[in-house]
Amino acid sequence: MDTIKNKKGIQKGWMMVIVCMLIQAIPFGIASNIQPLFIHPVTSKYGFSLTGFSLLFTIGTIVSAIAAPIIGTLFSKINLKLIYTLGAILCGGGFALFSMCTELWQFYVVAAIVQVGTATISAIGVPLLINSWFDSSFRGKALGIAFAGGSIGNIFLQQLVTRSLVMNGPSKSYLIFGLVSLITAIPIALFLVKMPKSNDDIVKGINKEQKEVTNSEEIDISYTLKEAQRNKFFWMMGIGFLFVGLYVSAYSVQYANYFQGVLKLDAKVIATAGSIFAACSLGGNVLGGILFDKLGVVKCLSLSAIFVFISGIFILLSGNNPVYAYLFSAVRGLAVYVYMMAPAYMVGQYFGRKEYGGILGMMNLVFAVGFSGGSVLFGVLASSFGYNTTWMIILGFVAMAFILLLTSAKGMEKQNEERKDSMQTQKAA
């Protein structure tokens, strides 16, 4: 059981979690969660094809993924408030720029700008802040609560955007919500985002078994990006998240088409399944944080593998009874932390704070590659082998993902113990 070791930094640390929730709820939510609502209004207004306009999601994902390692490295070289402010301007200002777009290529360019800004303030920025303010005893809970902000914000944004599109149309709605993002994100970047001033500000826990241990100076076993890239477990972890991206893409993007086009499930069933996922994913982020803190990475990943595998079985059974479609959505939602939190948590746990942003950026890149290619690969497999066989192949991807992640986690734990012992010996000598 963990208790608070230091009282000084706890208020500041948990206030930073609230700041991160606001980032996820509004600027991130506007940039990432409401764009699908604009598809029909925009394609109807400008005559774009659904395929053509939908490509902006792929372009945004790919560009932000490529930029992620660079963004992560910049966090260790540029003033935090400056880079956060730039990210906020790209994110919110870019979204407002959609209001001026009339050609498809313009939407592509702006989507890339918006997603680079979003990666800066959210995908890289939020985990960086949480990792800096919390030690491993509370980092999972803090990450889970912070990421839950996106789900909470989405509940309100979906309603507000839907009404705005009816009243104002897509162009004015883009401008309105882009300005909302800017008005929210820039003050956060300038006045609320900050790093702990000293080690005493970090929220720390202490296990019962450690209470008699004196507060000796901690050994920092953090890795640089170059050191991490020379580590075989770094690449094993990366390939693991590549497979995570592949299966997440299939389960997140293809399920609706499968339910509607192949199984011919009623639209109300599909809508209910989507709502169940949204509700369970909100709890899933918090659950994941608790599990990481209480069970540790290896046990948490093992439990996660069971969740994801069961959800894969449920989608195979969905043709027999709609109840399985609901169960698929529920279990998938509870396991959302595997891709929402695990990269950020595992990088902090195993590679430390030294060049956290750059290393996390690499993990986000390989996940995005898997996610971007997952739908295309699924389509090819489904056309060649049919849906049932393809869903079984996806289960194979699930197995590969967790075998690689568990092996890398166990390997890093052993390696870091040896690294720590070596550094302690050198310090004592």
Structure tokens at 366: 């390989």
Domains in the chain, number: 2
Q: Dihedral sign for Cα 141, 10, 122, 227, please.
A: negative
The answer to whether residues 278 and 163 belong to one domain is: no
How confident is the prediction for the chain on average, in pLDDT?
89
pLDDT in tens, 252-286: 877 877 887 888 888 788 878 877 887 888 888 88
Give percent above pLDDT 90 in the chain: 60
Does residue 208 lie in a domain region?
no
Confidence label for 298 from pLDDT (cuts 50, 70 and 90):
very high
CA distance 137 to 304: 19
Confidence label for 219 from pLDDT (cuts 50, 70 and 90):
confident
pLDDT for position 4: 52
Query: Is residue 11 predicted with pLDDT exceeding 70?
Result: yes
pLDDT for position 254: 79
**Considering the entire predicted model, what is its pTM?**
0.83
The answer to whether residues 181 and 233 belong to one domain is: no
Give percent above pLDDT 70 in the chain: 94
Does residue 27 lie in a domain region?
yes
Structure tokens at 258: 């499968």
CA distance 370 to 61: 11
Q: Is 234 left (phi over 0), alpha (psi -120 to 50) or beta?
A: alpha
Structure tokens at 192: 């609320």
The residues near 216 (Cβ < 8 Å, ≥ 6 apart) are none
Confidence label for 215 from pLDDT (cuts 50, 70 and 90):
very low
pLDDT for position 392: 96
φ, ψ dihedrals at 300, nearest 5°: -65, -45
The residues near 425 (Cβ < 8 Å, ≥ 6 apart) are none
Query: Is residue 212 predicted with pLDDT exceeding 50?
Result: no
Confidence label for 50 from pLDDT (cuts 50, 70 and 90):
confident
Least confident span in 19-23, 108-112, 197-201, 326-330: 197-201
pLDDT in tens, 106-148: 999 999 999 999 999 999 999 999 999 998 888 999 999 999 8
Least confident span in 272-276, 301-305, 315-319: 272-276
pLDDT for position 2: 53
pLDDT in tens, 365-421: 999 889 888 878 888 898 899 999 999 999 999 999 999 999 999 999 999 999 988
Query: Is residue 340 predicted with pLDDT exceeding 60?
Result: yes
The answer to whether residues 193 and 250 belong to one domain is: no
CA distance 216 to 193: 30
* Under 8 Å between Cβ of 363 and 347: yes
CA distance 173 to 153: 17
The answer to whether residues 155 and 251 belong to one domain is: no
* Under 8 Å between Cβ of 278 and 151: yes
Identify any residues that bridge with 203 across adjacent strands, giving them in sequence order.
Answer: 134
Does residue 1 lie in a domain region?
no
Confidence label for 223 from pLDDT (cuts 50, 70 and 90):
very high
Q: Look at strands 205-207 and 2-4 and give their pairing.
A: antiparallel
Would you call 205 helix, strand, or coil by DSSP? strand
pLDDT for position 6: 54
The answer to whether residues 137 and 233 belong to one domain is: no
CA distance 85 to 97: 17
Would you call 281 helix, strand, or coil by DSSP? helix
Query: Is residue 208 predicted with pLDDT exceeding 50?
Result: no
pLDDT in tens, 159-189: 899 899 999 999 999 999 999 999 999 999 9
The answer to whether residues 244 and 161 belong to one domain is: no
Residue 229: which CATH number?
1.20.1250.20
- Amino acid symbol at 282: L
Query: Is residue 216 predicted with pLDDT exceeding 70?
Result: no
The answer to whether residues 292 and 354 belong to one domain is: yes
Report DSSP state, residue 207.
Answer: E
The residues near 316 (Cβ < 8 Å, ≥ 6 apart) are 388, 391, 392
- Domain end marker among 202, 236, 260: 202
Structure tokens at 397: 């991807």
- Domain end marker among 202, 235, 269: 202
Q: Name the residue among 310, 31, 268 with its Cα closest to residue 150.
A: 31
Average pLDDT on 82-91 reads 97
Report DSSP state, residue 37.
Answer: G
C-beta contacts of 47-55 below 8 A and 24+ residues apart: 48/104, 52/104, 53/104, 53/107, 55/108
Does residue 215 lie in a domain region?
no
Query: Is residue 205 predicted with pLDDT exceeding 90?
Result: no
Q: Which residue has the higher pLDDT, 212 or 419?
A: 419
Domain that holds residue 85: 7-202
Structure tokens at 365: 């890149």
pLDDT for position 88: 97
Average pLDDT on 221-247 reads 95
pLDDT for position 213: 43
The answer to whether residues 165 and 292 belong to one domain is: no
Query: Could you write out the DSSP letters of every residue in 344-386?
Result: HHHHHHHH-STTHHHHHHHHHHHHHHHHHHHHHHHHHHHHHH-
The answer to whether residues 283 and 366 belong to one domain is: yes
Q: Name the residue among 425, 312, 429, 287 with its Cα closest to residue 378.
A: 312
Confidence label for 209 from pLDDT (cuts 50, 70 and 90):
very low
The answer to whether residues 111 and 160 belong to one domain is: yes
Does residue 211 lie in a domain region?
no
Count how many Cα atoms sit within 13 Å of the Cα of residue 177 in the half-sphere of its side chain.
Answer: 33
Query: Is residue 214 predicted with pLDDT exceeding 50?
Result: no
* Under 8 Å between Cβ of 262 and 393: no
Query: Is residue 289 predicted with pLDDT exceeding 80?
Result: yes
Would you call 136 helix, strand, or coil by DSSP? coil
The answer to whether residues 366 and 313 belong to one domain is: yes
Count how many Cα atoms sit within 13 Å of the Cα of residue 319 in the half-sphere of its side chain.
Answer: 8
Q: Name the residue among 38, 287, 296 with its Cα closest to residue 151.
A: 287
- Amino acid symbol at 245: G
pLDDT in tens, 344-354: 999 999 999 88
Would you call 4 helix, strand, or coil by DSSP? strand
The answer to whether residues 276 and 415 belong to one domain is: yes
Does residue 209 lie in a domain region?
no
Q: How many residues does the chain have?
A: 429
pLDDT for position 143: 92
Average pLDDT on 303-316 reads 95
Q: Chain centroid to CA 52: how far? A: 26
